[in-house]
Structure 1
Amino acid sequence: MEFKIRSYEEQSDRAQVEDLERRCEVGPAESVFLFTDTMGDPICRIRNSPMYKMLVAELDKELVGVIQGSIKLVTVPYKDLAKVGYVLGLRVVPHVRRKGIGSSLVLKLEEWFKSNDVDYAYMATEKENQASVGLFMNKFGYNKFRTPSILVNPVNNHRSFRISSNIEISLVKIDQAESLYRRFMGSTTEFFPNDIDKILRNKLSLGTWVAYFKGDYFGFDDSQTVPNSWAMLSVWNSGEIFKLRLGKAPLYCLLYTKSWGLIDKIFPCLRNMVPSLPDFFRPFGFYFLYGVYHEGPFSGKLVRGLCEFVHNMAAEKKKKDCCKIVVTEVGGRDEELKHHIPHWKLLSTPEDLWCIKALKNNDDDGSKSSSTTSNTSSFLELTKTPTRALFVDPREV
């Protein structure tokens, strides 16, 4: 069986890639039931990245596989700045799996990474996706890096959070937000993007907010004096580039959604008393909370206040199906925030598996280079127990 790996051509390949995506299940059927609707733009999830590429596998003029990748400059422990390549969206249609197509796509993408001087390649997958875990970890030598938590909270249009009256929440100007992020996360946070300014200025970024207790002083001038306890986060409108839709859902989820819709119509007086689950049966958008930072003994409460503020902001949107969930991902030392960030266990993922691989351990001829020892040492440090926060780039969600 001969197949060809080539670059994606938007005009001629778009329809086939969309069909391929529909034929390929996203995640394990028993635990993952939200599917991606790219709204006619298969490359939407990486289009906002500094450098990106999509590869397709072609067999007898039929597209049977696809993979996406992006490259950016980020902070990495023990190396300061490093180029990293992100592997995303590997798909192979069911009837040609286990024939080397997925492996060839990964190899070709790694070649593109190496040609652009990438230090590390990394990817994220569900722990239960044994095919993906086996391919990347067992065959290609990727190592477990982090297991952050994906926290999902449904947006209840009928009920708003009551934010503590003791908390002050302020919108921050873009220049000030960039300065705060570089000052407090730039050198202490894993995978912090060097082009944070471009992320903040992107039209999909709705703003950055800080929270602190009333009576404390937060300096929004050049001094940027911060109180003992404070928190900040930014909001990315992922629903503008792609939607989510319900796939194979557990029976209890279907029953809950349908029964609540019936109760909502018959007994509207209960809207503010019973937590509701939005109608996920049609494509819907979502907000992603990124750049979550907190400092101080009572900062967890401030993070909760910010999350509740964003939920209320999403609920106020009048456009139907605009935003039905609020999502964030926390890892490293920020795992403790799971107790403060509102989320539903039904929809959340307790452990999202991140894997990483060093790409600069060998010379071109395959022999060990003089920098192998230092590269390997710094790579092993990456996989140790996390002591720093993890920045999740909203452009790669």
Structure 2
Amino acid sequence: MDKELIGVIQGSIKVVSVQNHDLVKVGYVLGLRVASNHRRKGIGSSLVRRLEEWFRSNEVDYAYMATEKANHASVSLFMDKFGYTKFRTPAILVNPVNHHCFRISSSIEITRLKVEEAESLYRRFMGCSDFFPDDIDRILRNKLSLGTWVAYYKGDSSWGDFGNGEVPSNWAMLSVWNSGEIFKLRLGKATLSCLLYTKSWSLIDRVFPCLKLPTLPDFLNPFGFYFMYGVCHEGPFSGRLVRGLCEFVHNMAAKCEDRENIKIVVTEIGGRDELKHHIPHWKLLSSLDDLWCIKALKNEGANRFSEFTKTPPSTPLFVDPREV
């Protein structure tokens, strides 16, 4: 309006698996923003409507979006006005990066996978996960994907077994995405208690470095983060392997060339996923109130859509790092 940008919306289209291997085309709604002095004028609704038209013109089966439960304006717009339905309630787990590295158990072996090996394992063990992208190979080959690692217990297997398609009784894997290369975050408003906590613990750590206290980084200046995606595991004792991989990623962030800017490690898993007990995170920084909503754009998908949203999730949720 008068050469001023007052509203923006973004969307992406991809093919994913839902309900045990069914491939559908979905459109992801993200980045809806309207300038504060132009809100409540229907601009947000116009942007959503136009994006849905673009989805339909590209034969998209479902549109979906993510927001916080506490974002009442967004929830009202999509659920009340546009008919989106609650689909999943994932948990966003955040762990600060400290210069003190974790000491990973000597009984755990961690090996980096080749892209072809990672793709094969993901398709085999996560191919039926909700929203698993059919173009996983493109994600793994993206320059922002730092690699994929697998963990298993020493003596339980060897790397050659993985190469032959065999897996041990307990194993885990994940990939890492460098979101800090795309955008930076900054804490807009910090409570006095948060500021005091950060300063006091940093001071104690400098005076008594031998204690190796977990400190809270400076979030007031722009910073980047690593995103762990494709967290996969099997076996009754694989939770410890997941923790070992997460600690490995933390150490990788603490030692990276850009360590002054990479201040947190983030992952997102299904709200009911027991993995949250094994993934290091601070409740102060994490959120258990993320909300995914979905809408059927084709009439023939309405019946399956109703069953899809009412049935409790039976498979893990794959969060595409390109949509973070």
Q: Is the TM-score greater than 0.5?
A: yes
Contact 1:233 1:289 in 2 (8 A): yes
Q: Deviations over 1:264-290 (max 9, x none)?
A: 44x1x2364322001112111110000
What SS does structure 2 have at the residue aligned with 1:153? strand
Q: Does 1:381 align with 2:307?
A: yes
Q: TM-score, normalised by structure 2?
A: 0.95
Structure 2 CA distance for partners of 1:71 and 1:247, relative to 1, 3 Å: same
1:197 aligns with 2:106: no
Runs of 4+ in structure 1 displaced over 4 angstroms? none
The separation in 2 between residues aligned to 1:273 and 1:200, in whole angstroms, is 34
Alignment of structure 1 residues 284-323 onto 2, 5 Å: 284-323=223-262
**Deviation per CA, 1:39-90, whole angstroms, max 9, x where unpaired?**
xxxxxxxxxxxxxxxxxxxx23321111111111100116711111110111
1:117 and 1:174 mapped to 2: Cα distance?
31
Q: Note if 1:71 corresponds to 2:9.
A: no
Deviations 1:133-165 (A, max 9, x none): 0000000000000000000000011x1111111
Task: Give the counterpart of 1:261 among 190, 202, 218.
Answer: 202
Which structure's relative contact order is higher, taking Cα pairs within 8 Å and 6+ residues apart? 2
Aligned counterpart for 1:349 among listed residues 287, 297, 314: 287
Q: Percent identity?
A: 72
Q: Which among 23, 35, 39 is matched to residue 81 of structure 1? A: 23
Q: Which moved more, 1:131-140 or 1:381-390?
A: 381-390
Counterpart Cα distance in 1 of 2:140 and 2:21? 25
Aligned pairs (5 A) from 1:165-204: 165-186=106-127, 188-204=128-144
Q: Secondary structure at the match of 2:227?
A: strand
One-letter identity of the residue aligned with 1:391: F
**Displacement of 1:103 after TM fit?**
0.2
- Where in structure 2 are there 5+ consecutive unaligned residues? none
Q: Is the Cα–Cα contact under 8 Å of residues 205 and 212 in structure 2 kept in the other structure? A: no
Tell me, in whole angstroms, the C-alpha distance in 2 between the residues paired with 1:354 and 1:202: 25
Q: Is the 8 A contact 1:232 1:306 kept in 2?
A: yes
Name the stretch that deviates more: 248-257 or 282-291: 248-257
Corresponding residue for residue 215 of structure 1: 155
Correspondences of 1:86-125 after superposition (within 5 Å) = 86-125=28-67
RMSD of aligned residue pairs (Cα, Å): 1.5
The change in CA–CA distance for 1:220 and 1:177 in structure 2 (over 3 A counts) is farther
Deviations 1:349-379 (A, max 9, x none): 0121000000002xxxxxxxxx3xxx22211
**Which of 312, 317, 322 does residue 390 from structure 1 map onto?**
317
Residue-pair matches, total: 322
- Quick check: 2:226–2:266 contact (8 Å CA) kept in 1? yes
- Output the CA distance in 2 between the equivalents of 1:239 and 1:65: 25
Q: Is 1:244 aligned with 2:185?
A: yes
CA contact (8 A) 2:178 2:227 kept: yes
Output the amino acid matched with 1:250: T
Question: Which amino acid in structure 1 is aligned with residue 74 of structure 2?
Answer: S
Quote how far apart the aligned CAs of 1:239 are. Answer: 0.6
One-letter identity of the residue aligned with 1:379:
F
**1:95-126: per-residue Cα shift (whole Å, max 9, x none)?**
12111000000000001111111010000001
**SS of corresponding position for 2:132:** coil
Give the 3 Å change call, closer, same or farther, for CA 295–336 of structure 1 in structure 2.
Answer: same
Contact 1:332 1:386 in 2 (8 A): no
